[in-house]
Amino acid sequence: MVCLGSALGGGARYLLSAAALRILGPSFPFGTLLVNLLGSFLIGLIVHAGLGGIGAPSTLRIFLTTGVMGGLTTYSTFNFETLELFRSGAFGLAFLNLAVTVVACLGAGILGLMVGRAVSGA
């Protein structure tokens, strides 16, 4: 189940990242930021809505959280792209990427938990 979920999440990551690159250009890693924001929000939503939480069947929980969300999000690409910004001398963009990714992804996860709570009525 993890492999199937990872394939789906990885495919979605590729499509979203390619679309962001095409629409917004290569000056900033918008695609990686987008998939990490989306994944942070969705994992919060999934876990709190009960779809991927402790009460969910373990197969579904593992498929959604470890598989799909693990395939969708990417810490290694975020790290590589940030290092490339530093290496190319784009220090401001590198620090912006660090700050926005960490703060916004945490915020997206919290928002996902809040929406999940509202949806589940818990």
Q: pLDDT for 32-52, tens place per residue? A: 999 999 999 999 998 887 665
77 annotated among ligand-binding-site residues:
no
> What's the CA gap between 100 and 105, in Å, rounded?
8
Q: How many CB atoms are closer than 10 A to CB 105?
A: 19
pTM (global) more than 0.75: yes
73 annotated among ligand-binding-site residues:
yes
Residues whose CB falls within 8 Å of the CB of residue 39, separated by 6 or more in sequence, listed in order: 9, 69, 72, 73
Question: pLDDT digits over 79-109, tens only?
Answer: 999 999 999 999 999 999 999 999 999 999 9
